[in-house]
Amino acid sequence: MYSIAIHGGAGTLPRALMTSSQESAYRAGLAAALDAGYAVLDLGGTSLDAVTAAVRMLEDDPLFNAGRGAVLTHEGTVELDASIMDGRTLAAGAVAGVRHVRNPVDLARAVMEHSPHVMLIGAGAEEFALASGMALVPNDHFLTDTRKAQLGRVLAGDARPANELSALGTVGAVARDRAGNLAAATSTGGMTGKRHGRVGDTPIIGAGTYADNAVCAVSATGHGEYFIRAAVAHDICARVAYSGLTLAAAADAVVLDRLQKMGGEGGIIAIDAQGGVVTSFNSEGMFRGARTSGGTREISIYRD
């Protein structure tokens, strides 16, 4: 079975406050990215191309906290993190703190495919982007009025206003292609009001992203400081590999038990070696979607 799952972050509006037009807009954004990634698989493309295509669309959609529409640092700028992993070879690429790269997932992939390194940060990452032929964009490209207003409220001391999305809105995708290869990718602006230079779990291989053909592929969203210390993505894969747990049981053990006991809010999407999709989150909701060659296609926000 070939399949893809995507997420648009664990920071949803409380259900009671989500209007139907907001919900439709989020669903449409998720559906577009899901179908773009699925089309790659359906045409015989690789899981790496599928996750790249889906994440790129979510980065360009201002509703989600990645690329354009990313949340702002304390200083009012945008600093982006992204990573990608190839489950076939365990090759991985990541970037952190980039300010001028329109699609950070493309840069993470270039690091993986065209450099001897796994992670590049800040100015060095952007020099590598230029050397790879990517056009840089001004930091303003990423700014939206919604995020400026959100930062204003956070700086005024309202850490999580009840009437807006929480800070968690990272995007990600996991896929299994026709050849049985797994891949995962994740991209984010981080958390609203973060200190300049702060890096979360998203670009940390093993925390926000992991893929191993023999086991599973995972992409996470949530409070990065907890996800890094719990090594969430790798821990889920390790529990499957070493204890023989199903992916669903391993994901719930990490997200609903270990992480929750630490105080870490968020969730994951994952795909097992056969293409089965699993999601787990301890937040009120998680923007997500999944589509399989078995004929299922679902977009969801809350638990049901």
User: Can you give the binding site for ligand ASP, defined by CB under 6 A?
Assistant: 9, 11, 65, 168-170, 188, 190-191, 200-202, 221-224, 227, 266
What is the SS3 assignment for 182? strand
Q: Which is nearer to ligand ASP, 37 or 200 (CB)?
A: 200
The continuous run of DSSP H or E covering 97 comes out as strand 91-98
Q: Which is nearer to ligand ASP, 38 or 227 (CB)?
A: 227
Q: Which is nearer to ligand ASP, 40 or 199 (CB)?
A: 199
Nearest-10 Cα torsion for 255, 174, 98, 157: -30
Shortest spacing between CB 176 and ligand ASP, in angstroms? 23
Q: Which residues of 37-53 are buried (b: 16+ CB within 10 A; e: fewer)?
A: bbebbbeebbbbbbbbb
Q: Which is nearer to ligand ASP, 2 or 227 (CB)?
A: 227
Residue carrying the six token digits 């049901």 = 304
Q: Which residue, among 2, 1, 10, 64, has the nearest Cα to 279 in the 3D structure? A: 10
Shortest spacing between CB 286 and ligand ASP, in angstroms? 10
Active site residues: 170
Shortest spacing between CB 225 and ligand ASP, in angstroms? 7
φ, ψ for residue 184, nearest 5 deg: -140, 145
The β-bridge relationship of strands 80-86 and 91-98 is: antiparallel
Shortest spacing between CB 147 and ligand ASP, in angstroms? 13
